[in-house]
Amino acid sequence: MNKSYPERAGRVVALCGGVGGAKLAFGLAHILGNDLTLLVNTGDDFEHLGLTVSPDIDTVLYTLSGLANRELGWGRQGESWNFMEALSTLGGETWFRLGDRDLAIHVERTRRLRAGETLSTITSSMVDHFGIEARVFPMSDQKVSTVVATPEGPLPFQRYFVERRCAPRVAGITFQGAVEADAPPQVISALNDPALRTIIICPSNPYLSIDPILAVPGIRSGIERADVPVIAVSPIIGGKAVKGPTAKIMAELAVPATSKAIAEHYGGVIDGLVIDHADADDRETVNCPVHVTTSLMTSDEDRIRLAGEVLDFAYRLAPNAEAITLRRGQ
């Protein structure tokens, strides 16, 4: 290895939803700095109180900048709720809780979108203001809306996820606008970059967080075209999701909550799957190379260790990416 060319460690693209995915993104960003490009789900974005809310982008920004609320699992640490309380007095909608500090990102994003800036540009500017090294992009600057089909009829994502707390049975999931949506040019460039060494699918909900990203045609084709290993980290540990409705949705869709099912879900896209020791018995049933490790991320150290292992695994699968982990030791 030629240590004088650390840039030969190569660039990495990672697909990411909210909380679980953002934890691995934190680890990847720690190792890769601005060699990491994150493509973030915007299927959950919605208008609330006249503000454009991008929950997964915000979770990623807060997580990477160390501002995330770890106890709550969403929003910002040290948050206050005086806006919400005052809004309630005015008869405003309070089912979706916006903290006082968190509100700044929604107000500023909405103002800039109305002034004609793209979500990509605004997100990049926020990345700079938060002092984040990694590059973060929405999967599209156009509107894509995740809609959950339920026995009660179709529910917009946040109504399903927050207001109904994932209670309705999921009969299907659609991504309105995805087929017509373009990926931002910076995302296409990142996928076409000759320095790209691997693509990581973070342990986000495959159905609600990763599928909408893959539903954007330019991203799907960019991933298929890229001659680098694509590695998914399974969000399932011991037949359960760490957080959120992944396992519940899999049951409702009559899919067993197993590593095998995750690999099959990503069939045709991934070249390797990272699973937890708790699911090591599934190893033989998975139809692609598997790396078994501890995939629960509790501390920053866990996040960085798992990210390193995922990159090492990708490196072993990639014939020409010998220097992928070079920067990690620095």
| Residue 105 engages its own copies in binding (rule: CB under 8 A) | yes
As a whole number of angstroms, the distance between CA 215 and CA 15 comes to 12
Binding region for its own copies (CB under 8 A) out of 91-99, 161-169, 203-211, 223-231? 91-99
Beta-strand relationship, 145-150 and 51-53: unpaired
DSSP string, 120-165: HHHHHHHHHHTT--SEEEES-SS--EEEEEETTEEEEHHIIIIIST
| Residue 125 engages its own copies in binding (rule: CB under 8 A) | yes
Dihedral-angle region of residue 10 (phi above 0 means left; psi in -120 to 50 means alpha; beta otherwise) = left
Q: Pick from 33, 74, 77, 100: which binds its own copies (CB under 8 A)?
A: 100
**Minimum distance between the CB of residue 105 and its own copies, rounded to whole angstroms?**
6
| Residue 87 engages its own copies in binding (rule: CB under 8 A) | yes
**Minimum distance between the CB of residue 219 and its own copies, rounded to whole angstroms?**
27
Inter-axis angle of helices 119-129 and 102-114, nearest 10: 140
C-beta of 28 vs 122, nearer to its own copies: 122
**Minimum distance between the CB of residue 38 and its own copies, rounded to whole angstroms?**
19
As a whole number of angstroms, the distance between CA 115 and CA 113 comes to 5
| Residue 110 engages its own copies in binding (rule: CB under 8 A) | yes
**Minimum distance between the CB of residue 120 and its own copies, rounded to whole angstroms?**
16
Q: Could you give the 3-state DSSP secondary structure of residue 39?
A: strand
DSSP string, 162-214: IISTT-SPP-EEEEETTTTPPPPHHHHHHHH-TTEEEEEE-SS-IIIIIHHHH
As a whole number of angstroms, the distance between CA 97 and CA 53 comes to 11
> 203 vs 6, 89, 91, 234, CA distance in Å?
28, 39, 38, 5
Residue 219: CB atoms within 10 A of its CB come to 25
C-beta of 85 vs 180, nearer to its own copies: 85
Residue 200's beta-bridge partner residues? 14, 231
**Minimum distance between the CB of residue 66 and its own copies, rounded to whole angstroms?**
13
Check: CB of residue 31 under 8 Å from CB of residue 308. Answer: yes
Binding region for its own copies (CB under 8 A) out of 100-108, 260-268, 270-278, 314-322? 100-108
**Minimum distance between the CB of residue 126 and its own copies, rounded to whole angstroms?**
6
Using CB under 8 A, which residues numbered 126 to 165 contact its own copies? 126, 129-130
Q: Pick from 1, 72, 86, 195: which binds its own copies (CB under 8 A)?
A: 86
| Residue 91 engages its own copies in binding (rule: CB under 8 A) | yes
| Residue 49 engages its own copies in binding (rule: CB under 8 A) | yes
**Minimum distance between the CB of residue 312 and its own copies, rounded to whole angstroms?**
35
Binding region for its own copies (CB under 8 A) out of 29-37, 124-132, 184-192, 287-295? 124-132
Binding region for its own copies (CB under 8 A) out of 85-93, 150-158, 251-259, 304-312? 85-93
Q: Which two tokens stand for residue 152?
A: 């009660």
| Residue 72 engages its own copies in binding (rule: CB under 8 A) | no
| Residue 301 engages its own copies in binding (rule: CB under 8 A) | no
C-beta of 83 vs 248, nearer to its own copies: 83
| Residue 76 engages its own copies in binding (rule: CB under 8 A) | yes
Binding site for its own copies (CB under 8 A): 49-51, 76, 79-80, 82-87, 89-92, 99-105, 107-108, 110-111, 114, 125-126, 129-130
